[in-house]
Amino acid sequence: GAVVSQHPSRVICKSGTSVKIECRSLDFQATTMFWYRQFPKQSLMLMATSNEGSKATYEQGVEKDKFLINHASLTLSTLTVTSAHPEDSSFYICSASPRGSSSGANVLTFGAGSRLTVL
Amino acid sequence: QQQVKQSPQSLIVQKGGISIINCAYENTAFDYFPWYQQFPGKGPALLIAIRPDVSEKKEGRFTISFNKSAKQFSLHIMDSQPGDSATYFCAASKGDGSARQLTFGSGTQLTVLP
């Protein structure tokens, strides 16, 4: 089956630094990847849609300059949290659907998530 | 505006019992209703899904019941096992079932006692 890998799984950083999280589709190409944020005991909130070779589409209320998304290849999307602050601490999850599919929810595979803690 | 309401927030069931989680939606344009299972520190995994043209779908111990007129759907876990202990999210999407339009419920933390 389709596998999506995220790295790192956990990261701790100091306030003011930037952190990059990688999302890779291991055995398929993904034209579209999605980034979610999840607070403890809460649901997943879609942050942005990452499109290979073009700019990401951000959801309302998500700061584009704070959360930089790059989708440089069909197997890799990165989320960079810039000038991180304690309120950015969260669980970040990516998902992807295979190239050629409709990017429908029925073909989504989620990564294992990345836990960011900003001190 | 919360478009998908999920209940209960938490659920404790004895091993072998039936776990029932309910969801209600508001937008009649939704046409795809998946359930996800998430273990602590992991990403969600698709468990089972249904489209509104059927009223029930069963896969192993997991069954989705769908009531289009009431705009409600539920997940039933038969013969619940301790390994089923996880957080369950219902979700809904509209149009072509676009992942971008996937709206999650608030989640239910299920604990199955041995």
What pLDDT, in 10s, does the model give residues A86-97?
Answer: 999 999 999 988
Yes or no, beta carbons of A112 and B91 under 8 Å apart: no
pLDDT tens digit sequence for A7-60: 999 999 999 999 999 999 998 888 889 999 998 888 999 999 988 888 899 999
Which of A41, A57, A95 is the closest to B99 by Cβ? A95
CA B29, CA B34: separation in Å to the nearest integer?
15
Closest of A110, A99, A103, A105 to residue A73, by C-alpha: A99
- Tokens encoding B11: 């659920």
HSE (CB half, 13 Å, CA atoms) of B102? Answer: 31
Which of B41, B96, B105 is the closest to A104 by Cβ? B96
Least confident of A53-57, A73-77, B7-11: A53-57
pLDDT at A101: 62
Yes or no, beta carbons of A108 and B98 under 8 Å apart: no
Percent of chain B with pLDDT over 70: 93
HSE (CB half, 13 Å, CA atoms) of B55? Answer: 4
CA B56, CA B79: separation in Å to the nearest integer?
18
- Please report the residues numbered 18 through 57 in chain B whose beta carbons come closer than 8 angstroms to any beta carbon of chain A: 32, 34, 36, 41-46, 49
Q: How confident is the model at residue A103 (pLDDT cuts 50, 70, 90)?
A: low
- Tokens encoding B110: 């299920």
Q: Which residue of B has its CA nearest to A48?
A: B100
Task: Tell me B98's DSSP state.
Answer: B
Enumerate residues 6+ apart whose C-beta is below 8 A from A24.
A4, A5, A6, A7, A75, A76
Which of A4, A9, A105 is the closest to B102 by Cβ? A105
